[in-house]
Amino acid sequence: MLQILRAKLHGIRVTGCALNYHGSITLDPEQCRAAGIYPLEFVYIWNKNNGQRLSTYVIYGEPGSRCCVLNGAAARACQEGDEVIISAVEYVNGPHEIAGRSPVVLTFNADNSVRETLRYVVTEGPDGLDFAIEEGR
C-alpha cells in the first residue's frame, strides 16, 4: 500500500488556538469542500513557522469564516498567524493506481482567501509516471 496526497490546503494561516477544546482542527467548510476534505477525516498538519508536524481530525466551522483553529493538544503546535499546510491522504495498492489522480491544492492569501486552485496531475508516460501542476479546476 502507498499513501498518497488526496487534497491540500497550502499556506492557510492559523486564526485561533483553543487548548481547552476537545480536540481537532476547525476549518471553513466552503474551503474544505473546494479541496475535497471531509468532516471527521484525519489530516496531516505541517507548521511552516516552527516545523511542527501533527495529525488530527477535521471539524467544520462557520461557512465563509476562513477559519483555521487548532484545538486541544494541537493548539500547542501553533500560534495565531502561523502558516500551515494541511493534507488529506488516501491509500492505493501500488504505483499503477496513481496515474489518473489529480488532487486539488488550494493556496491562500494572508487573509485566508483562496489565492489559487491547482491540481497535481499524474499521468502514465512512456517512461513511467509523469507529474504536472495545472491551474484551475
Which residues contact residue 66 at a Cβ distance below 8 angstroms, ignoring those fewer than 6 apart?
Answer: 15, 28, 31, 111, 112, 113
Residue 57 designated active-site: yes
- Among 21, 38, 44, 57, the active-site one is 57
According to the annotation, is 117 in a ligand binding site?
no
The answer to whether 26 is a known ligand-binding residue is no
Query: Residue 94, annotated ligand binder?
Result: no
- Say whether 88 counts as a known binding-site residue: no
Instruction: Let me know if 24 is a catalytic residue.
Output: yes
**C-alpha cell at position 11:** 499556506
Nearest of 31, 13, 47, 22 to residue 105 by alpha carbon: 31
Binding residue numbers: 56, 72-74
Mind telling me the catalytic residues? Answer: 24, 57
Binding residue numbers for substrate: 56, 72-74
